[in-house]
C-alpha cells in the first residue's frame, strides 16, 4: 500500500495515490461552513475524483464547486448526483455517463475502482453509502460515511482487505467510539483513522475513548487520529 492521506476535518479526507491522483471524500471546506477545515475551496488546486457518501450539507457542501474548479469527476448515488446536475454541475463530470451508481455497484476508472457499500443513515436523495476505493497499486481504503455499526462490515473487510478504514466516531448522528471500535474489529484494517468528531459541539470532542476501546478490541490495528490539516504517508 502507498499514498498520502490528509484529514481536512469532519468527514473530509484527501487521498493522493502513488501515481499522484487526488481523491476527495465528502468535501466540506471552511468557506462552505466546516468549522474545523483548515482550507477553503479556492485553496484546492487539483482533484481527479470527488466521492460523496450522501447529500447532507456536511458531506456534499463543497463537491460541486470543487468539481467545477478542478474538472474532477464526481461519484455518488444516482439521485444525489442528479441533484447536483440539476443545480448546475455538468453531467459529463459525473461517473458512469452522468448516472453515478448505487450500493453494490460503483465505477472502474482504470487507475481506481470504487465500490459502494451500505451505510445506515439518512439522505434526502437516494440512500446513504460508504465507499471502498482500490487503486492500481492495490491500496484499499474504506470511507464509511455516516453510519452505525453493521455486521456486514466484516464481510466487506474480508472481500476487500483494507489498508485504511476511515470510521465516524462522533455519536448522535453516527457510531460512537464503542460501536466504532467494534467496527474496526470487524473490518480488520491495517490502519484505522477516526472521522466525524470534534466539529459539531455536541458530538465527541476527542478520539481518546475510541483509541482506548480499539486497544482492547483490535490491538493489532494501528490507530491514527489526525488533526485537521495533518497528513500521513501510508506504506508497507
- How would you label 114-137 residue by residue, b for 16+ Cβ within 10 Å and e otherwise? bbbbbbebebebbbbbbbbbbbee
What is the pLDDT at residue 151?
A: 98
Q: What was the pLDDT predicted at 6?
A: 98
CATH number of 2-222: 3.60.15.10
Question: Cβ(195)–Cβ(169) under 8 Å?
Answer: yes
What pLDDT is attached to residue 32? Answer: 96
Q: Per-residue pLDDT averaged across 11-35, rounded?
A: 98
Neighbouring C-beta atoms of residue 206, cutoff 10 Å: 13
Instruction: Give yes or no for residue 1 having a pLDDT over 90.
Output: no
Per-residue pLDDT band for 236 (boundaries 50, 70, 90) equals low
Cβ neighbours of residue 155 closer than 8 Å, sequence gap 6 or more: none
Please tell me the predicted confidence (pLDDT) of residue 213.
98
The per-residue pLDDT for range 147-198, each reduced to its tens digit, is 999 999 999 999 999 999 999 999 999 999 999 999 999 999 999 999 999 9
Region 43-66 average pLDDT? 97
> Quick one: 235 exposed, middle or buried, by C-beta within 10 A (0-12, 13-18, 19+)?
exposed
Q: Is 16 within 8 Å of 58 (Cβ atoms)? A: no
User: Distance between CA 133 and CA 125 in Å, rounded?
Assistant: 22
Identify the band that residue 235 occupies on the pLDDT scale cut at 50, 70 and 90: confident
Contact status, residue 83 vs residue 60, Cβ threshold 8 Å: no
pLDDT value for 229: 98
| Domain positions in the chain | 2-222
Confidence check: pLDDT of 234 > 70: yes
Integer-rounded Cα radius of gyration of the chain = 16
Whole-angstrom distance, CA of residue 138 vs CA of residue 150: 25
pLDDT tens digits, one per residue of 120-150: 999 999 999 999 999 999 999 999 999 999 9
Q: Which cell is 150 given?
A: 453493521
pLDDT, one tens digit per residue, over 77-109 is 999 999 999 999 999 999 999 999 999 999 999
**C-alpha–C-alpha distance, residues 161 and 188, integer Å:** 8
Q: How does the average pLDDT of the chain come out, rounded?
A: 97
Helical spans, DSSP H, in 122-200: 152-159, 177-187
For residue 217, which of 184, 190, 172, 177 has the smallest C-alpha distance? Answer: 184
Percent of the chain with pLDDT over 70: 100
Structural contact between residues 112 and 143, judged by C-beta atoms closer than 8 angstroms: no
Taking a C-beta distance cutoff of 8 angstroms, is the pair 143, 26 a contact?
Answer: yes
Amino acid at each position: 500500500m502507498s499514498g498520502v492521506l490528509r484529514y481536512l476535518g469532519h468527514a473530509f479526507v484527501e487521498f493522493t495515490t502513488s501515481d499522484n491522483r487526488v481523491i476527495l471524500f465528502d468535501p466540506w471546506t471552511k468557506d462552505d461552513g466546516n468549522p474545523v477545515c483548515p482550507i477553503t475551496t479556492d485553496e484546492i488546486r487539483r482533484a481527479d475524483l470527488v466521492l460523496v457518501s450522501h447529500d447532507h450539507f456536511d458531506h456534499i457542501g463543497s463537491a460541486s464547486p470543487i468539481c467545477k474548479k478542478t474538472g474532477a469527476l464526481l461519484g455518488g448515488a444516482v439521485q444525489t448526483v442528479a441533484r447536483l446536475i440539476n443545480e448546475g454541475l455538468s453531467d459529463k463530470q459525473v461517473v458512469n455517463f452522468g448516472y453515478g451508481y448505487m450500493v453494490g455497484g460503483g465505477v472502474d476508472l482504470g487507475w481506481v475502482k470504487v465500490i459502494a457499500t451500505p451505510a445506515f443513515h439518512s439522505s434526502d436523495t437516494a440512500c446513504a453509502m460508504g465507499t471502498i476505493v482500490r487503486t492500481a497499486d492495490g491500496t484499499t481504503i474504506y470511507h464509511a460515511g455516516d453510519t452505525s455499526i453493521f455486521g456486514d462490515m466484516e464481510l466487506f473487510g474480508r472481500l476487500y482487505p483494507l489498508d485504511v478504514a476511515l470510521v465516524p466516531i462522533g455519536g448522535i448522528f453516527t457510531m460512537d467510539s464503542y460501536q466504532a471500535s467494534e467496527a474496526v474489529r470487524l473490518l480488520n484494517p491495517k490502519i484505522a483513522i477516526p472521522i466525524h468528531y470534534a466539529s459539531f459541539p455536541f458530538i465527541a470532542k476527542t478520539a481518546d475513548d475510541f483509541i482506548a476501546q480499539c486497544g482492547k478490541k483490535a490491538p493489532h490495528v494501528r490507530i491514527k487520529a489526525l488533526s485537521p490539516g495533518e497528513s500521513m504517508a501510508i506504506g508497507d
